[in-house]
Amino acid sequence: MSADSQFQTLHNQLIPEETSSDGGQDRNVMSVVAGGSEISDFLILVDPPSVIHQGTLLTIEYHCRDPYVVGVQLKVVTCTLREVIMFHRWWPCGSFGEPHVQQITVQLEDRLAYRPSHLNRISTVVESAELLAWIVDDPVLDSLKLDIFRQSAVRVSHRVSLLNPYDRPGKPCTDCLSWWMTIEMNKPYMPVCKVEPGEYDDRMI
């Protein structure tokens, strides 16, 4: 059997048929790309979520060997930040044998996880987001930096979304509050916008 035939057989075994609501093929769920890596290396996001929030559990199934490493990232786009990695975990492939399963808990920055409040004064609107998972050779990991996904031989991508700021939960209070902050917490929170440059009439203030 040729290498192309082997890859197609492996691809058919690993990637289930997904049907979108309009009856077409849903290509947004999983994808596997094999390049310079061995044909037996693979990577799957198992039941990938459609919405990412604080504490989302990701399940990654993979098959590779050391010195390769497996990684997962969350890339977001906002009105001020373009293609920024906001979450990143990686770990060694381990011994070559049966496929491995790794579970990762997503930890978001406060501005992406919680609604605006006295405890979280900055809450960022996310325009788009994407989960990225990859397998690369350990020695090149540091040199690739943000371009790891594009240069990896085996990779998976999945578009996701984050909750709008006022749909997010409030940030839990873990510290002992001062008397002043206790009073503030009982008041409705009113976000204060930055002063915009330009002329204004001081009689309106």
Instruction: Tell me, yes or no, whether 62 lies in a domain.
Output: yes
3-state secondary structure of 180: helix
Instruction: Tell me, yes or no, whether 48 lies in a domain.
Output: yes
Cα separation, 74 vs 188, whole angstroms: 32
Cα separation, 140 vs 145, whole angstroms: 9
Helices (H), 26-175: 110-113, 141-144, 148-151
Q: In the structure encoding, which two tokens stand for residue 155, read together?
A: 């990779």
pTM equals 0.70
Summarised one tens digit per residue, pLDDT across range 73-109 is: 999 998 887 888 999 999 998 877 788 999 999 999 9
Instruction: Tell me, yes or no, whether 205 lies in a domain.
Output: no
Helices (H), 30-187: 110-113, 141-144, 148-151, 179-185
CATH number, domain of 42, equals 2.60.40.2550
Instruction: Tell me, yes or no, whether 204 lies in a domain.
Output: no
- Averaged pLDDT of the chain: 75
| Contact assessment for residue 89 and residue 71, using Cβ atoms and an 8 Å cutoff | yes
Instruction: Tell me, yes or no, whether 202 lies in a domain.
Output: no
Summarised one tens digit per residue, pLDDT across range 129-160 is: 999 999 988 766 665 555 788 878 788 999 99
Percentage of the chain beyond pLDDT 90 is 35
Confidence of residue 25 (pLDDT cuts 50, 70, 90): very low
Cα separation, 44 vs 63, whole angstroms: 9
Strands (DSSP E) contained in 47-146 are 51-52, 57-63, 68-78, 84-92, 100-105, 126-137
Q: What is the pLDDT of residue 21?
A: 35
Cα separation, 86 vs 76, whole angstroms: 7
Domain total in the chain: 1
Residue 200, pLDDT > 50, answer yes
Instruction: Tell me, yes or no, whether 199 lies in a domain.
Output: no
Instruction: Tell me, yes or no, whether 203 lies in a domain.
Output: no
Cα separation, 130 vs 75, whole angstroms: 5
Q: What is the pLDDT of residue 205?
A: 47
Cα separation, 193 vs 121, whole angstroms: 11
Range of the domain at 179: 3-194
Instruction: Tell me, yes or no, whether 187 lies in a domain.
Output: yes
